[in-house]
Amino acid sequence: MTHTNDHELDTWRDQWSSVAAPPAEFQRKIQQRIKRQERRFLLGNLLTVIVFLGMLIFAVLMRHQSPWMGPNWSTGICVLVFIAAGCRLWVMRRTWRPETQSTRAFVELWHRRVAARIRLLRISIYLSLGWIIFCAALTAANWATIGQDVKAHPAEWVALLVVCVLMQYPMIWFAAVWLRRRKQAELTEVRKILDEMDGKS
Amino acid sequence: VSEHRQALEARFAHILTDYGAAIARLAFSYEAVASVREELVQEIALAIWQALAQFRGDCSERTFVYRIAHNRGLTHVSRRRSPQPPLPIEDLEEADQPVDPRPHPEEQAARTGQRAQLMSAIQSLPVTHRQMIVLALEGLSHAEIAEVMGITENNVAVRLTRIRKSLKDSLGERP
C-alpha cells in the first residue's frame, strides 16, 4: 500500500487494505464461469439461427400449402423479421462494450442505452398494433374464402380468435408496459448518478 | 487462435493475481451481503475477461481494471430494487474476520472495529463519492482517478476534499 505524508489517508488505507480478500478458489470459479458463458453464447447464436431459418422454412411452406393466404403470410413474416432485426440494430448502435470506458462515459452511454430500450419498446408496441391491423386487413381481403370456413367451423375459429387476440395480445401488452416501467425506473436511477457526478446532489 | 487464446488466458490470470484483492475490496464497497458480493466479484472478473481481447493499451492496465470493476459495481447498485443500508458493524465483524498475525488480541479487536466503522461509513456515501474515495484508498493518484472516472484532476481534488470531510464527520459520529 502506498504511503504519503497524509496521515489520515494512510491510516484509512491501512484499514482498507485488510478489508477483504478474494473469495476462496477465486480463479477456478471464474474459469468455470467463463466456460459456461461461452457455451451459452454459442447455444444462443445457434438458437437464433435455427429460429430464423425455421421462420423462413415456415414462410416457404405456407406459400405452397395455403395458396389463398400463403404469399401474404410469408411476406408478412419476412418483413416483420427484417424490420425487428433492423430496429434492434439501429436502436442499439454505438452501445457495445461500454465498460472499458471511464465512469462518466459509461453512465452517459448507459443513459442513452436505457432511453434507446424505452424507444424500442414503444416501437414494438406500435409494431404489434401494426401486425394486428395487417392480419385484420388480410382477413378482410380474403373474407370470401375465410368466411365459408368460419361458417363451417365456427367453434374452432372462435377458439383461435380467443387465443390469438384476446389472450396473446393483452399478455404482450402487459409485459411491454411492465418492462417499460422497469426501464423508466432504471432511467431515473441513471439520471441520479449523472446528477451526482455533476455535483447536483 | 490457440496461441492468442493462451496468451489472453495468461494475461487474465496475471490480472486476477495482481488485482484480485483490490477487486474484492472494491466489491465490498458496493455490496454488503457476502454471498452476493462473491457473485459481484465473479461478474467483474468475467467482464474483464470479455474486454481483455479488445484492450489495446490505450490506458494503463490498472485503469482498465478499475474502470471495468467500478462500472460493473454501478450496474450492480442500480439493479438492486431498494437501496441497501450499510451492514451493521457487528455483522461486518462477523463476516470478515481479519487474517492478522498480530499477537495482541486487544489491538486486533480495536483495528477490526476501526475497519468496520470505515467500511460502514464508506457504504453509506453516495455511489460516485464511494467510488472516488475507494480509488483514493487503493492508492491511485488524482490523475489516475480522473482517468478512471472521466473528470478533470481539479475536479477530483475538490471533490475528494469534500468526500474526506464527510467521511471524517461520519466516522466521528459513530460510537
Predicted confidence (pLDDT) per residue in B67-108, tens digit: 999 999 988 888 775 555 555 544 554 444 444 555 577 777
Beta-carbon-side half-sphere exposure of residue A109 (alpha carbons within 13 Å): 18
Q: pLDDT tens digits for A177-187? A: 898 898 998 89
- Write out chain A residues lying below 8 Å of B30, CB-based: none
Smallest Cα distance from B142 to chain A, Å: 13
Chain A contacts of B126, Cβ < 8 Å? Answer: 196, 201
Helix (H, G, I), strand (E, B) or coil at B141: coil
pLDDT, averaged across chain B: 83
B143-156: per-residue pLDDT in tens? 999 999 999 999 99
Rounded-to-10 torsion of CA A132, A138, A144, A145:
-100
Chain A residues with beta carbon closer than 8 angstroms to that of B167: 12
Q: How many CB atoms lie within 10 A of CB B24?
A: 20
| DSSP symbol at A119 | H
Calculate the average pLDDT of chain A: 80
CA angle A180, A182, A185 (to 5 degrees): 110
CA distance B149 to A103: 5
pTM (predicted TM-score): 0.72
- pLDDT given for residue B101 in this prediction: 52
pLDDT for B75 equals 87
Cβ contact A21–B99 (<8 Å): yes
Angle, to 10 degrees, between the axis of helix B127-137 and the axis of helix A7-17? 90
Identify the CA nearest to A183 among candidates A116, A88, A108: A116
The full DSSP string for B3-28 is HHHHHHHHHHHHHHHHHHHHHHHHHH
Phi, psi (degrees; rounded to nearest 5) at A51: -65, -45
Q: Identify which of A128, A194, A31 has the alpha carbon closest to the alpha carbon of residue B5.
A: A31
How far is the C-alpha of A20 from the C-alpha of A167, rounded, in Å?
Answer: 52
When scoring B128, B131, B149 by the number of chain A Cβ atoms within 10 A, the one with the most, hence best to mutate, is B128
Query: Each residue of A116-136: pLDDT tens digit?
Result: 889 888 888 888 888 888 888
Residue B95's pLDDT is 43
Q: Whose grid coordinates read 432511467?
A: A187
